[in-house]
Structure 1
C-alpha cells in the first residue's frame, strides 16, 4: 500500500468521512467564500494537470508551511506522471473537467477543515491515430485544511486516495501497438456457439459490464447517482473495496454477471468471505473453482508483447467482463479491476473501487515493476 494511500485512509477515518457518499447527500456550505475558493482551486489544479507550469498553481499554497509545500509538490508530481505516461503511450491529454461536492466543513477563526469529493473527467487523443477524443473518469475523496493568509484562503494540508500517485520515472517504456487491436478483432476470435450453448452459459458479460459502469462510485461517468450498490457492505475504509466490487460484478444475481454464489465465495450482504473481499482470496477461488483461468501474468512489456502464443499480445485477448489483478510484490495481489471495454485504438479500459475509476486505461497509475494477472472468466 502506498504511503500517500495509507495516510489518506487514516485521515478519512479520523474525519469520519462517509465513503459511500452520493452527490445527493453531499451539500454545499453556507460559507460562499469557502465554496468559491475550493471551486477555483480545484479547477486550476485540473488545468495544471494538463498544462503544467503554464498554469500558476503556487498561489493557492503557503510557501512557509511545509505541509502546504508537500501538498503542492504532490500536485506537480501528478502532472509529471500523467505527462510522462501519455508520452510513453503516444497520447496527448486535451482537457480536464472537475466537479466538487463538499460533504462537510468546519471553520474556526482563520482555519477551515473541509471534507469533499472530486469527480474528474480527463480527455485524450492518440497522436498516431487521431480519432475521436477518448474520455474517462476518476473519483477521489479529500480531507483538506485551509488557512487564511492576508484575508485569502490557502491550502495548508491535504490527504486523498490518489489514483495517479506514481513515480514518473518508473513508467513502462514498451509501446502498446494499436494495429489490429480493436474490439472487432477480439470478437472475431471468439468461437461461434449454437443457441443451446448460449442458454447454458452462466456468465453474462453484458450485464457484468453494465453493473461495473452503474456502480463505479464517485468517478465521473458512473451511474447510480455516484453511489455504490448499498445492498453490499463498503470496505473502502477497512482495507479497500476493489475486490468486493469485482465480486459483485461477477456474481450479483440480479444486475451482475450471475456466476453461482457458492457458500465458499459469498457470505451475504452484511459481510464478505475471504474469497469475496480479499485480493488473494478471490485469486485462489477463481482459479480453484474453475470460474476463471489465468491467461497470462507479467509486466506491461510482457503482456503487450506479440508472441507465437499470443499473436496480438495477451492483454488483447481479454474481453469485457474479464479481470486484471495487480501484483506489486511477488505472490501478493494488491488490486483488482474489471475490463469494461476498449478505446478506439483497442486500449483496454477498466473500472474499479477505492480509487474509483470509470473506463480508465488499464495501466494508468501503475509502474514497470507491476505484474498484471490476466483472468479470463469462463
Structure 2
C-alpha cells in the first residue's frame, strides 16, 4: 500500500513540477526532461520565430561583395580553360534577366576564343583586379553591387602548322581595359546568384561572329610595327612639314586612357567633363588626343566649360575633320576591305594608320564609336585606345563583326 501511495505522489510531483516549469517560461524541454524525452527539439519557429525567418531561404555563406568579386573573376578563368558552362551556376537563369546575362557571357567567351583562333593566336594570360565601389539593398532580399573591373589580357602566336601548344612564343602582346559593373545579386539556396549585370563591355557588344580571318605573317610585317610608345620611330610624325605631333598625341592617349593596369596609363584627365553616361566619352577623348597633337580649336570644334557637339559626338567629329581638310578618309567599309592588300596599301589600308589617327565604327547606319590608334602589335596588327569602354592597346577590330563599317581616318594636319 505504501509503495502505491509513493508512486502516486511521485507522479503528482512530476506533473505539478512540469506545469510550474511551463508556466514559468523555462520551456517545453524542461517539462519533458523528467519523462526522458528531452532530446526531442521543438521547431525553430517555437524556439525563436526570428531565426526561422532567417533560415528560409538559407542565407548565403559569403558576403555579396565577396561573391560578386569571385564571380567576375570566374569570367577571366574561362578565357583560359574554355569551360564556359561552368559559369552558368553563377547566374539566376530562372529569371529572364539572369538568363540573358548568362547567355551574354557565354557568347562573349566564345567570341574572344574565335577571334584569337582566326588570327592564329592564343590567349595565354588573363588577370583582373576587382574593386567594390558601393553596395545597396534591393527588393525581396536582393543586393545591388557596383564594381570596377581592371582587366589585362596577353596573347601570343600559336606555333606549328596545326596550331599546337607552345612553351616559348616568338612574341607576346598585352592589352588592358576598365569597365564598371552594376550587379543585382539574388540569394538562392545559400548562394548569391547574378540576376542582372549591367556594363559596357570592352570586348565589345557585337557578339555574333568576329570579323573574317586575316593573318599577317611575321616575315611580311613592316619594320616599325610596335605598340610600345618607346618603340615608335621618330619619323612617325608626318613628313613634308606636317604640324601634327603624333608622339605627343600618343603619349596623351596612353596617359589618359583610364586603364591603370597598363604601365604608364591612369585616370581620365580631370580638366575635362566625362560624358560616359550621356552618350559616351569616346569622341571627347579622341578630341583631347587631337588637341594634344597640335590641332587648334575652331570651326565649331572646341572645349570651354564643356565640349561642343563637334567635340563630343563621334560622327560629327569625323565629318568635321574631313570637311575642314584636317583629315582624310582612306577607307570605309567592312573588315575584309580594310585588310585587303593592294598596290597602294601592301599590308592593307588599316596598316597605314599611325599613332594619333582615328577609326570610326559604324553600326546601323551611324558612327557609334571612335577610337585612337596607338600602335601595332609585333605582328603588325593595329591597336587602339578609347573611352566609355576603356581600352588600351586593344586590337582595332576586337568586339566588332562583319556587319560593322570601319572608317579609317588619317590625320593630315
- The TM-score normalised by the length of structure 1 is 0.81
Alignment of 1:91-240 (within 5 A): 91-107=121-137, 110-127=141-158, 130-166=169-205, 168-178=207-217, 179-184=219-224, 201-218=242-259, 220-221=261-262, 223=264, 226-240=266-280
| CA deviation string 1:176-210 (max 9, x = no partner) | 3234324527989x69999xx6xx64211111111
Distance 1:131 1:366, change over 3 A: same
Distance 1:329 1:209, change over 3 A: same
- Equivalent residue for 1:289, pick from 319, 324, 346: 324
Q: Paired residue for 1:264?
A: 300
Gaps of 5+ in 1: 1-30
| CA deviation string 1:30-73 (max 9, x = no partner) | x9823322222111111113322277222222343332222111
TM-superposed deviation, 1:165: 4.1
| CA deviation string 1:274-300 (max 9, x = no partner) | 211111211121112221111222211
In structure 1, distance between residues paired with 2:206 and 2:245: 38
| CA deviation string 1:76-126 (max 9, x = no partner) | 111111111111111111121011111111146832111111011111112
Q: Paired residue for 1:77?
A: 107
In structure 1, distance between residues paired with 2:73 and 2:172: 21
SS in 2 for 1:49: helix
Distance 1:219 1:358, change over 3 A: farther
Kept in 2, the 8 Å contact 1:97–1:122? The answer is yes
Kept in 2, the 8 Å contact 1:49–1:78? The answer is no
- Equivalent residue for 1:361, pick from 375, 395, 402: 395
In structure 2, distance between residues paired with 1:118 and 1:185: 29
TM-superposed deviation, 1:75: 0.9
Mapped pair 1:323 → 2:358 = yes
Q: Paired residue for 2:386?
A: 352
SS in 1 for 2:202: coil
Kept in 2, the 8 Å contact 1:60–1:155? The answer is yes
In structure 2, distance between residues paired with 1:230 and 1:155: 33
Kept in 1, the 8 Å contact 2:225–2:379? The answer is no
- The TM-score normalised by the length of structure 2 is 0.75
Q: Paired residue for 1:28?
A: none
Query: Matched residue pairs, number?
Result: 337
In structure 2, distance between residues paired with 1:128 and 1:304: 23
Kept in 1, the 8 Å contact 2:78–2:84? The answer is yes
Q: Paired residue for 2:92?
A: 62
| CA deviation string 1:312-368 (max 9, x = no partner) | 2111111111111112234x3221111101111011000000111010000000111
In structure 2, distance between residues paired with 1:260 and 1:124: 38
For the pair shown, the structure with the greater C-alpha radius of gyration is: 2
SS in 2 for 1:93: strand
Q: Paired residue for 1:336?
A: 370
